[in-house]
Structure 1
Amino acid sequence: MHELIRREAPELAPYVQSGMLGYGSYHYRYDSGREGDWFVVGLAGRKAYVSLYVSATVGDRYLAETYRDRLPKADIGRSCVRIKRLSDVNLDTVAALIREAAQTRPDSSA
């Protein structure tokens, strides 16, 4: 999955944050005043699956949510795509999600 992300979004520099592999960075600021930096795309290995985090938004929805019908065997939350086996998903679709995330700046305010 790391190689797929690097190939599809080479402009997103990899680094480790909060025990996950992050790609690209953006600064966020909430109305409450809380602010920080987070990754555009993140990758984490879990016991039963791999989590692909996509922070990009489209309108008022997280980009990952818009791929729910294109990745029916993945468990998709708001910004997280949980994949049990890579054979369960179409990697071309995952690649398209990563490319779109790299081109879509996450909403920096909440």
Structure 2
Amino acid sequence: MKSESLTPDIYIENLPEERKDIFKKLRKVILDNLPEGFTETISYGMIGYGIPHSIYPKGYHCNPKLPLPFLSIASQKNFIAVYHMGIYADKSLYDWFINEYPKFSVSKLDIGKSCIRFKKTNEIPLDLIAELVRKMSPKEWIELYETAFKK
């Protein structure tokens, strides 16, 4: 569900009441743990965290006018999603997350290439998300991005 919101605060304000509280908590966990150099924006109709052009002038290869995306959170129709490009590009990080998840949640993990879906919003493992967010610096993401995605 793509949002037309212009800021993260407006995005959250426009959420259904039953999702606002958990979304605020998820956003706070990300902001509190995001390494310096990433910035928060609205990107692709979601709250996004990426590397600004001031640090990575090339931008995103799919649309160089956009900052280099790293992480996004979104309220979808049937779930809340965390999109993490690092777990898509780094198999060891993906494997780490899969192995750690059962230590933080009794719910079955619902994960795609970069999308982690949470149908039961009261069971989002915020402490695990905090660890995941801390695992990669902007410098590490740029290096990984350029080897994994750039030709």
Same fold (TM over 0.5): yes
Higher helix share: 2
Cα drift, residue 66 of structure 1: 3.7
- Residues 86, 95 of structure 1: CA spacing in aligned structure 2 closer, same or farther, 3 A cutoff? farther
Residue 20 of structure 1: CA displacement? 0.8
Report the CA distance shift for 1:17/1:90 in structure 2 as closer, same or farther (over 3 A). closer
- What aligned pairs does 1:1-110 form with structure 2 within 5 A after superposition? 1-9=26-34, 11=36, 12-25=38-51, 27-29=59-61, 36=64, 37-56=67-86, 57-58=89-90, 61=91, 63-64=93-94, 66-72=96-102, 73-102=108-137, 104-105=140-141, 106-108=144-146, 109-110=148-149
Q: Given the two structures, how large is their TM-score scaled by the length of structure 1?
A: 0.74
- Structure 2 unpaired stretches of 5+: 1-25, 103-107
Query: Percent identity at matched positions?
Result: 27
What do residues 64-93 of structure 1 show as CA deviations (whole Å, max 9, x unaligned)?
Answer: 454123224331111111112344343221
Aligned length in residues: 104
1 or 2, which has the higher strand percentage? 1
Alignment RMSD (CA, Å): 2.6
CA positional deviation for 1:8: 0.6
One-letter amino acid of the structure 2 residue matched with residue 70 of structure 1: E
Report runs of 4+ in structure 1 exceeding 4 Å deviation: none
Q: C-alpha distance in 1, partners of 2:60/2:95? A: 20
Q: Distance in 1 between matches of 2:95 and 2:60?
A: 20
Q: Distance in 1 between matches of 2:68 and 2:135?
A: 17
The structure whose RCO (Cα within 8 Å, separation 6+) is larger is 1
The TM-score normalised by the length of structure 2 is 0.57
AA aligned opposite 1:67: F
The structure number with the bigger radius of gyration is 2
